[in-house]
């Protein structure tokens, strides 16, 4: 089946709000075996919305619309859809109960304006929105489906996962889509492609491979399309050939990012971590603590940007900084071991370097970075030469390199 997405709102057209709904919906639909044919963004203009809906209903099996469902005067989607499908607005009991439940939980009285949220076209089926007052409406028309969802991103995503996609799959008997992520680090995308070409060419026709490079990391995404009644217990992705060719570069599976992989690994193994960051400026700690449950393993971090803080907070020797400089193997090792001793963590990461665009020298140009990872028995350090003056790119690549080094250090203990 194929789908058209229509996102409504002047705020999207003028760039006041980033249209994250389109990417989230496309990702969820694709993972569920549905083909996204087109995405449209239209403003709060009645005719423009009507024309977009009419075009999409002629071209697609299903049309998903977000936005225009609030209590304010510019929210016109319900009225328009009622007219488009030749219906009338009525008060829906389930939608009203949901509005009352949410307002009661927040200690508010339901006003007439808010009660109007329960008005829906008589011809639609209401899919309850557990997270908000705007209803999700399902329309069936001549073998096609239109679903109108609220534009609030977290409400939309919850409804997509829990209401809309399961109902679409049931209605259209969509194929089963299975995905597998392989995180590869330490080899460039083009070199990786050459290395694994024999395996890639041997993949079954229903299994597709995508290369997704980002900041010193390549994510290989395998996608398999299976009939809706396929016995899943009998299917396995063919990975043996991949590991035989590129196993030394593979750091993990089934995670979207390296920070997610580090998080998962530390939680599963009951290990603790501390960080000492200079050139990455706290980026490593930020990514880890953004994930729920990080408190179970993350002891803390020190952003030691100046030499004085490297000495006082991490115990880096003054002589080391004088003799070798802040960007050196000797310094990064002492940073890693110092933060481990002071914070009492099982493992540590340390970074120091020249992120740019200024600050480089002939001996240590911009993009020079030292990274160390440390355990109670071993400290490993690595020099990176990114050769670029793009500051954020250097920070991101340093971060991913640090995560990969930590995973490999942990795996050495297996």
The per-residue DSSP string of 315-347 comes to ---HHHHHHH-SSSHHHHHHHHHHHHHHHT-SE
Interatomic CA distance for residues 60 and 49, integer angstroms:
16
**Cis link prior to 240 (omega < 30° from 0)?**
no
Helix axes 391-412, 258-269, angle to 10 degrees: 30
Return the pLDDT at 229.
83
In this predicted structure, what is the pLDDT of residue 404?
A: 97
Question: What mean pLDDT do residues 390-411 have?
Answer: 95
Helix (H, G, I), strand (E, B) or coil at 41: strand
Q: Which residues contact 119 (CB under 8 A, 6 or more apart)?
A: 78, 89, 90, 91, 92, 95
Any alpha helices (H) in 106-188, and if so which ranges? 112-115, 153-159, 165-172
Q: Which of 28-42, 51-65, 139-153, 241-255 has the lowest mean pLDDT?
A: 28-42
Model pTM above 0.85: no
Nearest to 66 by CA among 83, 44, 85: 44
In tens, the pLDDT along 253-299 reads: 999 999 999 999 999 999 999 999 999 999 999 999 999 999 999 99
| Tens digits of residue pLDDT in 336-360 | 999 999 999 999 999 999 998 888 8
pLDDT digits (tens, 9 = 90+) for 90-115: 999 999 999 999 999 989 888 888 89
Among 122, 130, 125, smallest CA distance to 79 is for: 122
Q: Which run of H or of E encompasses 105?
A: helix 93-105
User: What confidence score (pLDDT) does residue 74 get?
Assistant: 63
Report strand pairing: 217-226 vs 207-214.
antiparallel
Predicted local distance difference test score (pLDDT) of residue 141: 95
For 187-244, give the DSSP string.
S-HHHHHHHTHHHHHTS-TTEEEEEEEETTEEEEEEEEEE-TT--GGG-----HHHHH
Structure tokens at 118: 């329960």
Degrees (nearest 5) of the Cα angle 214, 16, 84?
A: 105
Q: How long a stretch of residues is the chain?
A: 414
- Indicate if the pLDDT at residue 316 is higher than 90: yes
Task: Domains for the chain: give ranges and CATH numbers.
Answer: 2-172 (3.40.980.10), 176-253 (3.30.70.2860), 258-412 (3.90.950.20)
Mean pLDDT of 30-52: 93
One-character DSSP codes across 59-93: H-SEEEEES--SSSTT--HHHHHHHHTT--EEE-H
Q: How many CA atoms lie within 13 A of 384 on its CB side?
A: 27
How many angstroms separate the most distant Cα atoms in the chain?
Answer: 82
Q: What is the pLDDT of residue 55?
A: 97
CA separation for the pair 164, 80 (Å, rounded): 21
What mean pLDDT do residues 111-130 have?
A: 92
Give residue-wise pLDDT tens across range 188-205: 999 999 999 999 999 999
Q: What's the Cα-to-Cα distance from 76 to each of 4, 40, 73, 127, 407, rounded to whole Å?
A: 20, 17, 7, 19, 52
Per-residue tokens: 294: 């990080």
> Among 150, 124, 123, 118, which Cα is nearest to 137's?
124
Residue 66: which of 126, 22, 115 has the closest Cα? 22
pLDDT on residue 406: 97
Binning pLDDT at 50, 70 and 90, where does residue 387 land?
A: confident
User: Residue 351: beta bridge partners?
Assistant: 277, 371
3-state helix, strand, coil in the chain (%, to 5): 45, 25, 30
225 within 8 A of 175, measured Cβ to Cβ: yes
Residues 79, 50: Cα–Cα separation, whole Å:
11
Q: What confidence score (pLDDT) does residue 414 get? A: 45
- High-pLDDT (> 90) share of the chain, %: 84
Q: Are 245 and 318 in contact (CB under 8 A)?
A: no
């Amino acid at each position: 089946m194929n789908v058209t997405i229509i996102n409504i709102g002047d705020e999207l057209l003028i760039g006041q709000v980033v249209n994250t709904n389109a990417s989230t919906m496309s990702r969820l639909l694709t993972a569920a075996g549905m083909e996204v044919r087109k995405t449209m963004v239209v403003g709060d203009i009645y005719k423009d919305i009507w024309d977009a809906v009419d075009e999409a209903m002629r071209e697609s099996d299903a049309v998903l619309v977000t936005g225009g469902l609030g209590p304010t005067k510019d929210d016109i989607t319900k009225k328009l859809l009622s007219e488009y499908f030749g219906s009338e607005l009525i008060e829906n009991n389930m939608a009203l109960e949901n509005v009352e439940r949410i307002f009661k939980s927040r200690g508010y009285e339901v006003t007439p304006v808010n009660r109007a949220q329960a008005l829906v076209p008589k011809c639609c089926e209401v899919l309850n929105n557990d997270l908000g007052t705007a209803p999700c409406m399902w329309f069936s028309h001549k073998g096609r489906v239109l679903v109108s969802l609220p534009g609030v991103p977290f409400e939309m995503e919850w409804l997509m996962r829990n209401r809309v996609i399961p109902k679409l799959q049931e209605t259209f008997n969509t194929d089963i889509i299975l995905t597998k992520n392989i995180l590869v680090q330490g080899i460039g995308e083009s070199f990786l492609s050459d290395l694994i070409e024999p395996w890639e060419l041997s993949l079954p026709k229903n299994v597709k491979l995508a290369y997704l490079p980002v900041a010193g990391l390549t994510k290989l995404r395998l996608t398999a399309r299976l009939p809706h009644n396929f016995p899943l217990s009998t299917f396995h992705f063919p990975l043996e050939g991949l590991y035989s060719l590129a196993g030394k570069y593979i750091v993990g599976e089934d995670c979207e990012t390296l920070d997610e992989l580090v998080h998962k690994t530390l939680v599963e193994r009951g290990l603790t971590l501390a960080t000492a960051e200079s050139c990455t400026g706290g980026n490593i700690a930020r990514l880890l603590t953004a994930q729920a449950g990080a408190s179970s393993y993350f002891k803390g971090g020190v952003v030691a940007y100046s030499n004085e803080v490297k000495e006082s907070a991490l115990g880096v020797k003054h002589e080391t900084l004088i003799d070798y400089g802040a960007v050196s193997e000797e310094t990064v090792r002492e940073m890693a071991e110092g933060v481990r001793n002071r914070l009492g963590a099982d493992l540590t990461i340390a970074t120091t370097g020249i992120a740019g665009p200024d600050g480089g020298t002939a001996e240590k140009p911009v993009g020079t970075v030292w990274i160390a990872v440390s355990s109670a028995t071993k400290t490993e350090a690595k020099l990176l030469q990114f050769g670029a003056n793009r500051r954020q790119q250097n920070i991101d690549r340093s971060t991913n390199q640090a995560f990969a080094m930590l995973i490999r250090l942990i795996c050495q203990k297996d």
